[in-house]
Amino acid sequence: MSNRVMIEVQQLNKSFGSLHVLKDVDLTVHESDVVCLIGASGSGKSTLLRCLNFLEMKDSGKILINGEEIDERSHNLNQVRQKVGMVFQHFHLFPHKTVLENVIEAPIYVKKVPKEKAIKKGRALLKKVGLSDKEEVYPAKLSGGQKQRVAIARSLAMKPEVMLFDEPTSALDPELVGEVLSTMKELAKEGMTMILVTHEMGFAREVADKIVYMHEGKIVEIGTPEEIFEQPKQQRTKDFLNSVL
């Protein structure tokens, strides 16, 4: 683990109308850290990830990515989003494109990578997620676990500096969860900086460097897996863990 700060969030606030969803959120994520966000449904986990990827615009506060403060009015957000990849619960693959076409689309059309080069890289990524034999297949023919691994490969194709995962295994049949988690574990081992929302407490405990517990839009407690799972300091954290473990 290096000490370089990859993401810095300071006093982040976000409301939807009168609903105050993120309340003075502060978070520091170092390079190669794996950070798991946990908390009850509605606590603001997805909104926090979406703010980090500028799918939602914060109301106030600061977001720094790799040392640079991102001002959504002056930055090219498409460029910023290339640095911060995101994988969703429901895959969001292009249904009318093959697996390989899904993976090479953004590098070719957004990053202007030459097609041959994009294909070569795309194939390497599909190999990495164990889907070399599926490159010509359409998403409808894949299992949920395979779709999610394509989504991960597609995100990696943009060479992000950080990967965000919002409940990447929640839509999967139980027997398909493991293959996606092992792909993510592999990425973590390679040093990818990752922030993920997950209900997979076993994964969080094993892979995370830091666990962040959110409740009603606030970060209640941050700690190592040992600290959070073995000796949480806050009663709310204890109550939450008792309800899910």
Closer by beta carbon to ligand ADP, 43 or else 146 = 43
Would you call 176 helix, strand, or coil by DSSP?
helix
Q: CB of residue 167 vs Mg ion: minimum separation in angstroms?
A: 6
CB 146 within 8 A of CB 135: no
Closer by beta carbon to ligand ADP, 166 or else 179 = 166
Q: Which of residues 48-107 bind ligand ADP (CB under 6 A)?
A: none
Q: Of the candidates 41, 74, 235, 243, which one interacts with ligand ADP according to CB under 6 A?
A: 41
Element (H, E) at 121: helix 115-128
Q: CB of residue 21 vs ligand ADP: minimum separation in angstroms?
A: 4
Q: Of the candidates 28, 42, 83, 241, which one interacts with ligand ADP according to CB under 6 A?
A: 42
Give phi and psi for 164, each to the nearest 5.
Answer: -110, 135
Closer by beta carbon to ligand ADP, 46 or else 146 = 46
- Which residues lie closer than 8 Å to 58 by C-beta, 6 or more apart? 12, 13, 14, 22, 51, 72
Q: Does 44 bind ligand ADP (CB under 6 A)?
A: yes
Radius of gyration (Cα) for the chain, nearest Å?
18
Tell me how far apart the alpha carbons of residues 242 and 228 are, in angstroms, rounded to a whole number: 12
Q: CB of residue 13 vs ligand ADP: minimum separation in angstroms?
A: 13
Q: Does 18 bind ligand ADP (CB under 6 A)?
A: no
Q: Which of residues 29-58 bind Mg ion (CB under 5 A)?
A: 46
Tell me how far apart the alpha carbons of residues 130 and 151 are, in angstroms, rounded to a whole number: 13
Retrieve residue 181's tokens: 């988690």
Closer by beta carbon to ligand ADP, 43 or else 198 = 43
Of residues 22, 29, 34, the one with CA closest to residue 209? 34
Q: CB of residue 42 vs ligand ADP: minimum separation in angstroms?
A: 4
- Which residues lie closer than 8 Å to 19 by C-beta, 6 or more apart? none
Tell me which of ligand ADP, Mg ion, none is bound by residue 21, counting a contact when its beta carbon lies within the kind-specific cut-off of 5 to 8 angstroms.
Answer: ligand ADP
CB 199 within 8 A of CB 26: no
Closer by beta carbon to Mg ion, 119 or else 180 = 180
Q: Of the candidates 16, 57, 72, 143, which one interacts with ligand ADP according to CB under 6 A?
A: 16
State the residues that interact with ligand ADP by CB under 6 A: 16, 19, 21, 39, 41-47
